[in-house]
Structure formats: structure tokens, C-alpha cells
Chain A
């Protein structure tokens, strides 16, 4: 799988980060995904994806201050990089080009 590939779950995570702005970290991403996609997502899989995205250079991360409600543990915040935004936009373009001229009803599956 090349660097430029962006599988669906990575796209969703990246999009969630864009929507969350400065509030992006593991748990908010997880909640965002659950509420919009309606599927149950674990914190482990979110971080696995975030770290993959970071390895590809699509997101950056930094540590916040320790917080008592977190058991004195620090938070790791994430933000998309310009590369990440470009990759996301490209993925959308590819999808849109592919969808061009195709119409399927989400309820019935009829064309």
C-alpha cells in the first residue's frame, strides 16, 4: 500500500480531525466517528489509525498538560498537516470522479 493511499477509515479519522479543529484527540475523534457513522469504534483502533496517519506525515501531534480528571495523565492532541489535507482532498476528488454519472438510492439500492 503506497503512501498516498488513504483507506476509508483513515479518511474518516482525518475528516473528524478537520471537523474538530483544536479539539482533536483520541476520544473526541472516537465520539465524532460514532455519532456520524453510527458504528461503534474503540479507542485502540482510533489511535492505531492516528499513528499510521502520523507515520505517513498526514497528521502531527503534541502533548498537552496532565489533567486530574485523566488520572494526572497528559493528553495527546492531533491536527492534520497540509499534506494530510491535500491527501484528503485528493481522495474526495477520486471518489467524486468515480461517482460522476452514478446514482444509487441508499434505501433500495436501485439505480
Chain B
């Protein structure tokens, strides 16, 4: 390898900055060569890297003066001053290792947290999609304003009409998710497939790495659609990256297809996909069947508004033939694919939180530096007396704090490497490109800016507050006076108040998320997930409708014979993660009234589904093994729907039009409890249940309720299935407990992160409160001793000191509450069952912080009581 040694690229960049351009090549080249040829083989990796850094650091002074010297031919005073200040800073920081360690650690925590979250934000939100000119790519939705639908998937005919008639798009393409069974290998496998129209990859401008993409005719009637493009991951997994795969045959759903190409690494489109096949025009002619994802690449220079006008005009024409009524379109930027609004909010809230954390760390360091500057009054006075200007003294303090910032940042980057790994390990799901998150030059740049800003901000106050004017007093008093002057005291109190306020706001945020999460945990989902498992079986096209029903009944019968199984049923959509099927429904009496149509979910179920899920049958009867879909139409509905359609009446025996279709009038035979099909955060869904038997819907989702851990029966299930049909794979096995828990993983993740940040923030703030008061007590030892000698009671002294310490804390809490009221509404979309201004959270957090603050004040106050008046007086 010819790169600079790993981990030392940063060092090389640093040195490069001090070198004139013509010197960079041969000096860095020499270092790289020496490293690779001699140092690495002789000393081993760790010591070799140490050697590299040492060379860089020790070379910087001579290189720096040389670089500037080339221009001015003499030593530049600025550089010399800087080097002097740097040396001074290094010396004085090394001399006080305790102070330095605390300062560096504090900053490393703050900067590390910022770097971690920023690296996630940068990858997930800021980095553009990996497509050529991504701003020209848009997603298009159908809208049906009459029905209040504003983001519908496209139906096939509507898409092809737009495709034919639009003039705004260079390319327009549609995609439908699918899953297929792969056979012909030793084991059948279920693959994630996508049907895409021929222009799909041209919209994204993704080219296959071997073979070719889809040709324009391959999605048209009369073309040959029996071709497949392989995803890179699948190609590597199944074919070991063998390029002779192009031209071979692959059998999907019992149909042989020719492999025409392989896509580049990574997913060309968000979401894992194994194989792409053509979406054939005319394969679905129902305008009311919405299932296509549609996107397009705008013609150069065409604005989204112009494209909207173009598509809307076409949609007006189509709407006349559409049974769903007037048709409109909605155009959305492709950047929405990257992160939905909830994730955006969560990430920005976290970014704000770590920003606060860094501010608190800065305030702490400022306080430390202030104390240090006061302790150094005599030294400062001597320097000033010898002619050091105020600017010179200030710049020295600034250099010191910037050095602290930079060292803290270096350590912080190390922490954030761990932090990023933790975030990735915790992966709550739903964060796109999370695996790509890492430290890149954007993140390093951000960290560098954060470090410099931290250094300047923390050094500025002590730098400006440095007592300079009254040399005589300073020389005389040295570092013995009372606790600094009045102005410094005010500054410190203000800083403590700021810390308290900032940490209160963070604690409120964390508290609100914790309350939301506990509310979520208490939600009754309506179904029982304990010891329930779901899995899918996809039936190939060679199975006719009757055969599918027979398979279903036979397989379920065999599952029920397994000893550990309590119950087993089938449904067409898995709860929580399975997606949804919807329909309009109206009572038979109101069928002609458009406004009486209600949009509800529908599910096909086998009779044992309700029992398996623990859904109570509230009224009427369940389906029987003999009930078939539509023969005649019968339905079981959820309680909420019954209450909506026939409020206060008995729904049994009543009749409703399914799909708002007079030809599909169903009798209501039963009512079951409601369940939160979309997870604990969503309201219970209104559902119409109809018999699975006779429908032939595939893939089939099976639900199994077992006596103990459902995983135990999986091998038996496989055996049973292979005895029925050895070519059918089982896929998407999941425990219902996991699905429910995963559906709130995002909430848990936000809560944990914000909780950690708030906890660290509070600890830092407490350390600050404690530090400032302890410092002041130490410096007032004499005063306290005199008071005690003059007869002040312990209680008096204690009260006075605690009050002094608590005053800024109370001010901070009040300010923080006001700030939190203003800020918490930004996170309202992350909350569940809790108002952003939840009084319980606010009061709880305020009390918590006040108590902790009291504790932090009590410790130094107790120490003050131990002051021996005699010793204190003797010193005086």
C-alpha cells in the first residue's frame, strides 16, 4: 500500500499545512517511505505511529518558520509569538496535570458527543443521495382530493398514462415491491424482488457493472419480460461474484428468467433488494388498485412547479375514467427518501442536545480558567509590570484554552469512534445509511471548528476579565484577596446559572421522552404478542385458487397437531410491519351517499386467527372452516367500526357494502375487539375481516401461538411444510414480541441517547456548581474563620454558604423552565401521550436539579465548617 500510514494521515495533513506547497511532496514522501520501509518493520505498528507523530510535531516549528521565512526572509514575529505562547501553554498545562485532565476530559465528552451525533446527521440528513444530480429526481404520488387522499401509490393505468403524455420528465419510472421464491439451488429461498419499469435505473443513472440494464421494450406488451437484473449483495452471496452469471438462467416463482446484468455495490434505491424484474405494462388494468411507487428525472431546467402543472393537466383528463374520482398529483423531493420527518426531528433534537452539552462543558471550563486566572494574579501583575500588553496576556490565555480545546477534540474523536459504534450496535431500525456513518473530512472539519470555537469561547471571558489595571493592588494582594472581585463573582454566578438552565432544558427533554416511552409501554395493543410468532409462505403461480385454499387448510391442520402449538391462523397482512390493505365501506342503506363512505382496513383471516392473536369475540360468531370469501359475503368487524357504522345499535345481521360496491353487500356476523395494527403509537384500526379461504392471496402470513418459546417449533414447521411441498420456503420469521418492541425501538433509542446526554449534562453542571462554591469557600477561609471566632453558629455559616451557592442555581432553574417551555414544542412529534409542557415532568426535573444542586452546595459548606478559627486567624 502506498498511502500515508493509517491514522497518521491527520498528522500528515497537519504538517502539510505548515509546509510550502513545493516542500510537501518530498518531506511527506520521505516520512511515508521511512515509515513503510524502516520504522514499521523494525518497531511495530504502535511505536511506528508514535515515531511518525513525533517527527511531525517536532518538525512543525522549523517548517513553520521556514515557510514564512521564505516570504519575509526573517523570522516572523507573529509565528514567534505563537510558538512562545504554545510553549507557555504546554508548560503550564503540564505543570497542573489535575486541572488539565479535568478540562480535557470535560471537553472530550462534550466534543465527542457532538462529533458522534454530527456524523450521524451528516450522513443521514446532509449528505446528498448518491445519484447524479439528485435534485432533478422527484417522487410522484396520486391524490384524490374528493376522498381526502393526498399520498396514494399509483395505479398501473394512471402511471402509464402519465408516462405516455408528460413532457416535463427526461425519464419516468415505476416500481412495485414483490417477493419471489428462488428455486433450482439446494434450498429454496425467498428473495426480495422489485418489479421496475424499463427506465427505472435511467432515472437514477445507475449502470450495471456487468451485462446490461433493461431495454425500453422489455416492459411493454409484446416485449420479452423474462429477464432479471441481480443486486450486488445477492450476486456475491449466491454466485460468489462470478461474472459468467450473465446469460445464465435463474428460476423465480417457477419461471425461468435470463440474467442480463449485475448492479453496483450498495442498494441503488433505499431498501435491500436481491433481484429486479420488469414491470410489464398492461399486467394490471385497475385504476383503483394503488401499488406503484413512481419517480422521475426532470428535464434540465424544468421546475417542480412546471412539472406539477404538466402532470395535473394530464391527471384532469384521466380523472374522468377513474372510479376513485378526480385525480391529482403530488410531487415530492427525493431527499424525503432519506429521512422521514420524525427522524429529522429526532436527529435535530439530539444535535441541539449535544450542542447544549458542549455549552455546559464550555461554561465549566470557563469557570476553571477564571479560577486559574485569579490564582495567577501576581504572575499576571509581574508580567504587566514588565511591559506585557493586555492583548499579549489575553492571547496567552486564549492560546491555552485553544490548546485545551484541540486536545479535548482529539480525545473526543476517539470517544466518538466508540460512540458511533454504539449507535450502530443499538440500531433502532429506520435510520437509512446508518452503516455508512463514520468520521470523514466533514466530521473532522466540524470537530475542528467546534474545538476552536470552544477554545475561544472559554478563553474569552477569563481573558477579558483579567485584572490588569491596578498593578499595585495586585502585586500586594497577590492571590490572597477575597474570592476575586465583585465583577468576577457576578460572572461566576451567571455561568453557574447558565449551566443550571441548560441542563434543566436537557433534563426536561429527556424526562418528556421517558414519560412518553412509559406511556407507550402501557398502551393496550388489543392483541397478545406473548409467545406468538409469525412467518410467511409465498405460493407460486402454479397453485390454482382451490389448491391454495386446500394448502392453507391442510398446513394449518398439521401445525395445530404440533404438541406445543395452542393455536394457528393465517392473515393476509402481518400486524405492525405488514403494510395495509384498505377499502371504503358504507352501510347498505347509505350506499348512494358519497360522504357516508368510511375508509377502513380489511384483512383476510382463517377462523383461528382471532383465537391465535388473543382478539376477543365480543358479539356474534366467528367464521367457520366452510366459509368462503364472497359466498355469500360475510364479515366480522372491529368494535370501533361497529360503533361508527351503527352507533348504539346491534350490528349483527346488518349489511354493509364492502369496497363501497353495491355488488358486495356483506352481512355482519360478528364483532371483535379493536387492535392497534400499526403498533402502539397508532390508534386502534377499524377493520373488516373476511374469510381467507377462497381468496388465494399470497404471500400467506401465518400466526402461531405456542406454549413456550415459539422458536422451538420452527424446525418442526419446516419439516411439516416440506412434506406438503418441498419447494416452498418459510420466510420472515418473527416473534410478535420483537415486532412490538421494534416498533418502539426508535423511541427507546431517542430516549436513551437524550437520557445519557442529559445525565452527563447534569453531572457537569453539578461539578460546576460544586467547583465554583468550593473555590469560593477555600478563598474565604479566613473570613469564615473570623466569623466563627466572633461567634457565628455553625448553622448560620452553613445556611449562608448554601444560600450563596443556591442563588444562581435557582435563577438557572427558573430561566431553564422558561427556555424549556419555548423549546419543547419542537419535539412534540416525538412525544406520545404527554404534552410538551407536561407539568409533572417540569416539576420533577426542577426538583431533581434543585436537590442535586443542594447536595453540590452542601459539600463545600461542610468543609467551611471544619475551618479552624485559630489557624485562620493566625494566617490573617
Contacts and interface: CB of A to CB of B under 8 A. Distances in A.
Contacts of B34: 27, 30-31, 43
A69 B2 CA distance: 5
Contacts of A101: none
Interface stretch (B21-29, B199-207, B799-807): B21-29
A70 B62 contact: no
Interface stretch (A15-23, A44-52, A85-93, A103-111): A44-52
Contacts of A71: 2-4, 28-29, 32
A51 B55 contact: no
Interface in B44-86: 54-55, 58-63, 66
A75 interface: yes
Nearest to B5: A71
Contacts of A73: 25-26, 28-29, 32
B394 interface: no
B30 A25 contact: yes
Interface residues of B, number: 27
A75 B63 contact: no
B31 interface: yes
Interface string A58-72: 000001000111111
Contacts of A26: 26-27, 30
Contact of A70 (B30, B58, B60, B63): B30
B32 A44 contact: no
Nearest to B69: A48
Contacts of A44: 15, 27, 55, 58-63
B2 A70 contact: yes
Contacts of A68: 2
Interface in B400-456: none
A43 B31 contact: yes
A47 B23 contact: yes
A69 B37 contact: yes
Interface in B754-798: none
B66 A48 contact: yes
Nearest to B20: A51
Contacts of A31: 34, 38
Nearest to B58: A42
A74 interface: yes
Contact of B59 (A45, A70, A76): A45
Contact of B29 (A42, A48, A51, A67): A67
B491 interface: no
A61 to B, nearest CB: 9
Contacts of A42: 54-55, 58-59, 62
B170 interface: no
Given A27-B33, A69-B37, A70-B2, A47 B28 contact: no
Contacts of B151: none
B36 interface: yes
A74 B32 CA distance: 11
A48 B28 CA distance: 14
Contacts of A45: 58-59, 62
Interface of B: 2-4, 15, 23, 25-34, 36-38, 54-55, 58-63, 66
Given A70-B2, A74-B26, 10 more contacts: A31-B34, A42-B59, A44-B27, A47-B62, A48-B62, A69-B36, A73-B25, A73-B28, A73-B32, A74-B29
28 contacts: A26-B26, A26-B30, A27-B31, A27-B33, A42-B59, A42-B62, A43-B30, A43-B55, A43-B59, A44-B15, A44-B27, A44-B58, A44-B59, A44-B61, A47-B63, A48-B66, A63-B26, A68-B2, A69-B33, A70-B29, A70-B30, A70-B32, A71-B2, A71-B28, A72-B2, A73-B32, A74-B25, A75-B29
Top 6 closest pairs, chain A to chain B, by CB:
A44-B59, A73-B29, A70-B29, A76-B26, A68-B2, A42-B58
